[in-house]
Chains A and B, each alone.
Chain A
Amino acid sequence: MSEDSGGIVQFDNVGLRYGTDKEVLSDITFTLYPGSFYFLTGASGAGKTSMLKLLYLAQRPSRGMIRMFGQDLITQPRSHLPDFRRRIGTVFQDFRLIPHLSAFDNVALPLRISGMHEDEVRKPVDDMLRWVGLDHRSGARPETLSGGEQQRCAIARAVIARPEVLVADEPTGNVDPDMALKLMRLFESLNRLGTTVVVATHDVHLLRKVPDSLIMRLDKGRLSDPTGALRYPPRREAVRK
């Protein structure tokens, strides 16, 4: 795998196993290009969540090579990983909002972790909450938010720091079709600004809502390439439109 392949994320022959069990991901090889939009599909248990864990650096692979932002991730010392994580936005399937923080503080968290001064936090967070329709609930704790509101809050938190890669696990699972469409438009807008988006979903209707998206399909821990985009990736300029 060459360094100048232009990929923002590169997996080369990656395998993942938990403990001594058999591999949940095997021989995964692909390249994600900056500014591209990917759907990761597959049946339940196919390994989508494990793949996303590798993407948002919650797991190291058992074998193989991963490069991210042009750097070899496998050889990075643990202390360097936070810098990588700050360039990745993650929408967890179970939202993982911090229960004792308000919606505002949950959304502000990535900015505060990044060291943004408190005076500069309020406006972007207010704008973001307004954009996802939660401006009237900014002071509410997650337990008082509906499932859809929690989902929007989680998405707002994932994108507030303008990540270079956005990883979303079933991001529209708890919202109505209108909100699902709205959220996909948000992802598309971010994508158009250069953010590489990876959305794991089993909702085939979503795939049609983003016409230029590429599809990665996992089947029993192995990656298939139904659109050929992984084997024959589109030219970078084309991906960036």
Chain B
Amino acid sequence: MSLPGFLRGRVRLGGESARILPQARLSGPMPWVIAIMIALTVIAVAMGLALSNLARNAQAEIAGGVTVQVVEAAPAERERQAETALSILNNREDVVQVRRVPDEELAALLEPWLGNAAADAEAIPTPALIDLRLRGAVTDGRLEDLRAALATAAPSARVDAQASWLAPVFSTIASLQFLALGLVVLLAATSAAAVWLAARSALGSNQDTIEVIHHLGGTDGQIAGIFQRSIASDALFGGLAGLMIGFAAILLLGRQFAALGSGLVAGGGLNPLDWVIIAAIPFAGMLLAVVTARLTVLAALRRIL
């Protein structure tokens, strides 16, 4: 009995690492768990980005915005003070834009609450409104300066920064942004924990195979690579499925908010860069899953010789 020819010489080792094992499947529901996590992450990230855009657009819109109200019950005096204030404001160099809000527009704003009576200045006296925009940011000092300028000619004028009215809205938006960030962090941690459990489970069910590869000279990196490839394909599949679900949810929510017709909400759309960030989420998820699987497997392998 003669030996096979190739055994007469040493086999050539090295070169590219070829397939060692077929795909070692992780637990069955893994892709779907990842899909759900990615879908929720996509929605949370989209929410955070939309809120960020909304806050930025609203802040840009009202930056430098000041409202002057002439609160005077007598219509003639109110009209006089309003015109005088308008004239003073028009002549100031730090004022970029001044507009008196027409009484019809004011009545239309109040009409949902006061009905047709809002248009009757005699029945319900409403203040005269002047909308102005200052050059640069509105500070308490500048507001005081405006008040002093109007105090003599228009003693019934009240001067307020528009931002101060929206401060609670911005505070709420900031809280929602933190909530979205917290959700993303929690979802990432939960995804990593799910992958960790799946990798541990797969390690347990493939213990014999791993030991054999180990005894045949397989390195920890090669064994971890088997699991990495498996989790990478699961995570990619789950991630893309989750992205589709997330996209659908965003589009649906976008339509719902657009239907509100609110000027504030309209500033909360997503720009092209936001869509790129959202589209990258499945790949970030895949990277997180692969790194988690690798660290889990390497930590477990270190316990055997």
A residues with CB within 8 A of B: 56-60, 78-79, 81-86, 90, 96, 98-101, 105, 109-118, 120-121, 123-124, 127-128, 130-131, 157, 159-162, 182, 185-186, 189-190, 193
Contacts and interface: CB of A to CB of B under 8 A. Distances in A.
17 contacts: A57-B215, A81-B305, A82-B217, A82-B218, A86-B13, A86-B216, A96-B215, A98-B209, A98-B212, A101-B21, A111-B11, A121-B18, A130-B4, A161-B13, A182-B1, A189-B7, A193-B7
B8 A193 contact: yes
A122 B211 CA distance: 24
Given A85-B216, A124-B6, A78 B305 contact: yes
Contact of B217 (A98, A100, A110, A159): A110
B215 A113 contact: no
Given A57-B305, A124-B11, A117 B4 contact: no
B60 interface: no
Contacts of B222: 113
Contacts of A79: 219-220
Interface residues of B, number: 37
B305 A60 contact: yes
B57 to A, nearest CB: 55
A121 B6 CA distance: 11
Interface of B is mostly: loop
Contacts of A98: 21, 208-209, 212
B215 A124 contact: no
Contact of A185 (B1, B11, B22, B213): B1
Given A56-B215, A123-B6, A115 B16 contact: yes
Given A112-B20, A127-B5, 6 more contacts: A58-B305, A100-B22, A110-B217, A113-B213, A113-B222, A131-B3
Contacts of A114: 11, 13-14, 217
A112 B212 CA distance: 13
Which 9 pairs from chain A and chain B are nearest by CB?
A86-B217, A127-B4, A85-B217, A124-B6, A114-B13, A118-B18, A189-B3, A82-B217, A112-B18
Contacts of A127: 4-6
Contacts of B7: 124, 128, 159, 162, 189-190, 193
A179 B3 CA distance: 15
B215 A58 contact: yes
Contacts of A186: 1, 3
